[in-house]
Amino acid sequence: MLGLCYWSNMGSKSAQVAGKILRDLLNDPEKQQSTVAIAACTTLKGDIHCYVRTHDGVIEQRCLEQCLVQVPVSESEKTHVPQTGGWKPGDFRHECSPKSQLSGLAWGSGRETLFYQHADNTIREARYDSRWYDTNFAQADVMPGTRIAAVCTPDGLRAMLFFQDSEGYICYRRAWSWNWEANATRLVEAAPFSPLTVKLLNRKDDADYSLFYVYVFYQDQNLVLREQGTGTFGEKWFIGDFVEDVQRPVSSLATNGPLGKHLKDSDKQKYSDGSAVKILYNDPRALCIKERIYVPWEWKLSQTVCPAPQDSCIAACAYVSDKGIVTNLFWASHDSVIHHHVWTPQLHWVTPSVIEYDMPTRGSKVGPWKGAPFDDESHPISAWRKVIKMIDIRSYDAIDGMALGFTDGSYTDWRGGYGGRLNSPFELCPGENITQVLVHFDNDYIRAVRFRTSRGRESGLFGRANGAPSVLCKDGKVLAGFIGTTGIFQSSGNTVLTGLQPLWRDK
């Protein structure tokens, strides 16, 4: 029962309150489940890769080239939000448990690792090394919905994974050159669904000897946030001096990196602003994200970063610029919208923004554009990383209706009516995209369409041609969807297409 007997002997009012909270969590664990999960890391090139787990158990990747983040240099530019644009959907998409949390790492020369929880509750690893693939790593005896924290040395030769087992203990498992030891080791018993984050210090001492210190932050059975550290890669542990009594379950913790607490004397002044070590957590009492910074040689009192719902999941990463350490904070809640905050040494926390993709480009309009509008652009932003697999069309003297099918099995809504004849779908091969749309139209209707692909293939003609077609295309882009209008075909009374405008996206 996760140490509830311990609470009965404490006798204090706060212990009784904490004990009741823990019992509620044990009886109804869904109360402490995050509806989303998020992880972030900074690559060797300085790019940011952000991973989010959606409500239905799918992990998606967002990518930002760090060079696009033009940090404001003066107070007058503080309202400028440089990090909003430039985000693009990444190549990684993976199914997982709908309760899975995430932990991402970047290491070596362009390699990445993402830990997630499988539908069978084991923790698994997906790795990128010129391509994404699943490794044979599997960690069983894991609490469903456990928070996950992982850390590795820059060269990837040493790694540690932290999680909570089925009995509520924070455990760790070590790897040398990504060869994992057979069994995990218990570290400390913690609150149910304890938040987890881990920080690595990797520096050389005066004798040019590499030192590795690992600090793990968690919530204990008193609902107090604490840290434990090791300088021997898990052989011996010590209690750290970070303590934050929040009195309520915390849904998420994050730390920025890449430096640690054991700074050289020459670093004291350089990082006196606390940029080297930041611990960020979601405070359920104030419904906000707070930070505590480590200014050599003490933890400062917590400060509010921004408002956030109680179930928010947070992640952080950092990179070292010529102007100091820049921290990126990400958080998401039940609406799955990712909020991005940037901290700079000059301006501290810059005005936050919402991650947005480069939206599809609208092409040329054709047709009379009479009647009711439709808009594939109203789909969720994540739809624009989907790949068209087929197009279904009904037609006779005009284009009655159509829908796009994607490689993940989803479809757009049916656009238009159900008259005419249902044609055989135009299907694309793997890696093939539509690059041109040929449209025949007159003053009343869209009469016919034909499609050309990136492989030089051409579909049959759907509908009846009326004059020369308009060829719609965008250099370097492929079809993502349509905007258009529908109206009534006078002779039949059927709904047909009366206007069409392609939406194009990057390949």
489: in domain? yes
39 and 67 co-located in one domain: yes
Please compute the mean of the pLDDT values over residues 176-181 and round it to a whole number.
Answer: 95
Residue 262: per-residue pLDDT:
44
| Residue at 96 is within a domain | yes
What percent helix, strand, coil does the chain show, rounded to 5? 10, 50, 45
Same domain for 427 and 296: no
Most confident of 54-63, 205-214, 433-442, 464-473: 433-442
HEC profile of 105-126:
EEECCCEEEEEEECCCCCEEEE
Q: Could you read off the pLDDT of 325-334 as tens digits, one per residue?
A: 888 899 988 7
Residue 210 has pLDDT above 80, yes or no: no
3-state DSSP call for residue 377? helix
What residues contact 135, with CB distance under 8 A and at least 6 apart?
124, 125, 126, 127, 178
Residue 480 lies in domain: 372-506
CATH number, residue 477: 2.100.10.30
Q: How many domains does the chain have?
A: 2
The answer to whether residues 195 and 323 belong to one domain is yes
Asked whether residue 336 is assigned to any structural domain, the reply reads yes
- Ordered DSSP codes for 292-332: EEEETTEEPPPEEEEE--TT-EEEEEEEEETTEEEEEEEEE
Q: What is the pLDDT of residues 130-153, one digit of tens each?
A: 889 999 999 999 999 999 999 998
Rounded to 5 degrees, what angle do the CA atoms 377, 382, 387 make? 80
Return the pLDDT at 71: 46
| pLDDT band at residue 88 using 50, 70 and 90 as cut-offs | confident
* Distance (Å, whole) CA 351 – CA 343: 9
Same domain for 425 and 277?
no
pLDDT digits (tens, 9 = 90+) for 96-109: 999 999 999 988 88
Claim to verify: residue 344 and residue 379 sit in the same structural domain: no
**What does the block give as tokens for 485?**
């209008």
In a domain, 493, yes or no: yes
394 and 302 fall within a common domain: no
Q: Could you tell me if residue 24 is inside a domain?
A: no
Q: What is the CATH number of the domain that holds 96?
A: 2.120.10.70
- Burial (CB < 10 A; 0-12, 13-18, 19+), residue 448, is buried
Give the per-residue pLDDT at 390. Answer: 96
User: Residue 153's CB: how many other CB atoms inside 10 A?
Assistant: 17
Closest Cα to residue 39, out of 338, 242, 308? 338
pLDDT higher than threshold 50 for residue 16: yes
Per residue in 361-390, pLDDT (tens digit) is 788 999 999 999 988 765 544 445 578 999
Q: What's the pLDDT tens digit per position in 150-160?
A: 999 888 889 99
